[in-house]
Amino acid sequence: MSHSNTRGICTAVLLTAVVTASLVEGYHRFVKNKTQTQSKSAARPQPQREHSEELIREQLARNYAFLSEDGMQKVRDQRIVVVGAGGVGSWVATMLARSGVEHLRIIDFDQVSLSSLNRHAVANLKDVGISKVECLKNHLLQIAPWIDIQTRNQLWNLDSADELIFGDDFQPTYIVDCIDNIDTKVDLLAYCHEKKLQVISSGGAACKADPTRINISDISKTEEDPLSRQVRVRLKKRGVITNIPVVFSAEKPDPRKAQLLPLLNEEIEKGSVDQLAALQNFRVRILPVLGTMPGMFGLALATHILTTIAGYPTEPIEGKNRYKIYDSILQSLAGQQSRIGKVDQRVPISLHDVSYILEEVFRGKSPISDYSSRLTLSRWDPSKELSYQNVVVLTKDEQKIHEEKVLNGGQPLEEVYSSEVLQKVEQRFAQERYYSQFR
């Protein structure tokens, strides 16, 4: 090959390399400029996207078919405040958002923890450490991006009540109480009563596991729910007796079932137990919770809200029809009058009083055996007239023995029962004297 041909080939190769390098560099600059443009665009506030009403209605099609056009319009117009965004509240907020409620305000001071994940509606591992309200908002806007979700990452209390409930002219139509602290819960319910706000409350889901025992009733008729019982007693002091629907479990306690975990000795030895709480007056012990139960409570709350708002007919069976049981118990007490020689079988106890004595005063079980089945009422001290403070809850077998030995047999109570039983009965009577101030 001649020298001139070799130089021509080299020149051609060089030119090709230069052109290729120029093309590659140009491509890199294009990609870089495009990326920078996209980054700047993402950093700028984006205009509110208009959401297609057709697509919204398609997403809510099953609800429209169930609740009707008019009912769904009422649902979509709601402005609901959910106080408490934990196991129960997260499910309430989630299902209200999925069902078309277009204005939600969620209030909670707490953060998502690793132990929250067994019961929280939407939180995952990446959410641990962030506020529960922002966690909910982030997830719910991915489900229903057209709704307005306002969050308040703070503790609800009376000092901040007006701002948290009505701030920014929110004008709520419904309040959902998902608080597990008694004092705060009572304050919220009394506040709603004073402001004439429609409210529904959650009872305690801790230590419960039987889904067939979940009820919806007025707060005056809840049973086997220590949280609702304490709230009811405290509300009575403020003049609030009825008109607060509550979701609760009527499942009875049992020594074999989960209970509030005791504080470890080393924690008690550190000093004042109250100092162990994250916030003053809040619980410091762990509540055993089966993750499914808060979800069912939340779903029951959301269902009641939606059907009530839409005007959909429902008929909750209050107390699982326990009024038949109460009537049987009352008849047994009246029958006892005859068995112990009383001519007049009338008793100064009404059907409503049976529920009160059984559920609130004696907490649904006999003070003698702590049994909670086959219960009835009995006169206690034969020397005293029948009254709220002289009637006890016994099993039917215990009632028979009590009649034989005490009411008919004339044996003193001290000979028949241990000092522990006598003391427990007197404590129940003392509690009734206290409750009677607010009846």
Nearest by Cα to 358 from 382, 322, 383, 386: 322
Q: Are 314 and 307 in contact (CB under 8 A)?
A: yes
pLDDT in the model for residue 231: 92
pLDDT in the model for residue 299: 97
CA distances from 390 to 199, 382, 385, 436 (A): 37, 9, 7, 14
Nearest by Cα to 301 from 137, 174, 206, 191: 174
The H or E element that residue 265 is part of is helix 265-268
Token representation of residue 383:
């020397």
CA distances from 418 to 223, 358, 424, 425, 428 (A): 28, 22, 10, 11, 16
Rounded to the nearest 10 degrees, the angle between the axes of helix 132-143 and helix 87-98 is 20
Q: Which CATH superfamily is domain 53-257+289-319 in?
A: NAD(P)-binding Rossmann-like Domain (3.40.50.720)
Strand partners, 151: 106
Rounded to the nearest 10 degrees, the angle between the axes of helix 292-310 and helix 87-98 is 40
How is 185-202 classified by DSSP, letter by letter?
Answer: HHHHHHHHHHHT--EEEE
**Tally of CB atoms within 10 A around 73:** 13
Per DSSP bridges, beta strands 103-107 and 148-152 are parallel
pLDDT in the model for residue 422: 96
287 φ/ψ sector (left φ>0, alpha ψ -120 to 50, else beta) = beta
Q: Burial-class residue 145 by CB neighbours within 10 Å (0-12, 13-18, 19+).
A: exposed
Cα–Cα distance measured from residue 22 to residue 24, given in angstroms and rounded to the nearest whole number: 6
The H or E element that residue 394 is part of is strand 391-395
pLDDT in the model for residue 44: 37
E-assigned strand segments in 211-317: 214-218, 245-249
Token representation of residue 419:
């000092």
Annotated domain spans of the chain: 53-257+289-319, 322-438
Cα–Cα distance measured from residue 358 to residue 363, given in angstroms and rounded to the nearest whole number: 6
pLDDT in the model for residue 22: 53
The H or E element that residue 152 is part of is strand 148-152
Is the pTM value of this prediction over 0.75?
A: no
Nearest by Cα to 323 from 354, 295, 345: 354
| HEC assignment per residue over 126-138 | HHCCCEHHHHHHH
Each of the 439 residues of the chain gets a pLDDT tens digit; together they read 454 554 554 454 445 544 444 544 554 454 445 434 433 333 333 344 578 999 999 999 999 999 999 999 999 999 999 999 999 999 999 999 999 999 999 999 999 999 999 999 999 999 999 999 999 999 999 999 999 999 999 999 999 999 999 999 999 999 999 998 889 999 999 999 999 999 999 999 988 989 988 999 999 888 888 888 889 989 988 888 889 999 999 887 777 777 766 655 554 454 443 433 434 444 445 678 899 999 999 999 999 999 999 999 988 776 555 677 888 899 999 999 999 988 887 888 888 888 889 888 898 889 999 988 889 999 999 999 999 999 999 999 999 999 999 999 999 999 999 999 999 999 999 988 887 776 6
The H or E element that residue 149 is part of is strand 148-152
Q: Are 137 and 106 in contact (CB under 8 A)?
A: yes
Vertex 103 angle, CA 99 and 108, to 5°: 100
Q: What is the DSSP code (8-state) at residue 339?
A: H
pLDDT in the model for residue 285: 53
Q: Find how far residue 240's CA is from the centre of its chain.
A: 20
410 phi and psi, to 5 degrees? Answer: 80, 10
Q: Burial-class residue 301 by CB neighbours within 10 Å (0-12, 13-18, 19+).
A: buried
